[in-house]
Structure 1
Amino acid sequence: MNKLVKAASALAVLALLSGCTGHIENKDKSCGYDYLLHPAISISKIIGGCGPASPQ
Structure 2
Amino acid sequence: MKNIFKLSALALFVSVLSGCTGSVYNKEKNCDYDYLLHPAVSISKIIGGCGATDK
In the superposition, the TM-score normalised over structure 2's length comes to 0.68
In the superposition, the TM-score normalised over structure 1's length comes to 0.67
Identical pairs, percent: 59
Runs of 4+ residues deviating >4 angstroms: none
Determine if the alignment matches structure 1 residue 20 to structure 2 residue 26. no
Query: In structure 1, what is the equivalent of residue 36 of structure 2?
Result: 36
Larger Cα-atom Rg: 1
Distance 2:54 2:47 in 1: 17
User: Which deviations, in whole Å up to 9, do the C-alpha atoms of 1:27-54 show, x marking residues without a partner?
Assistant: 0001000000110010000000001114
List gaps (5 residues or longer) in structure 1. 1-8
Query: In structure 1, what is the equivalent of residue 46 of structure 2?
Result: 46
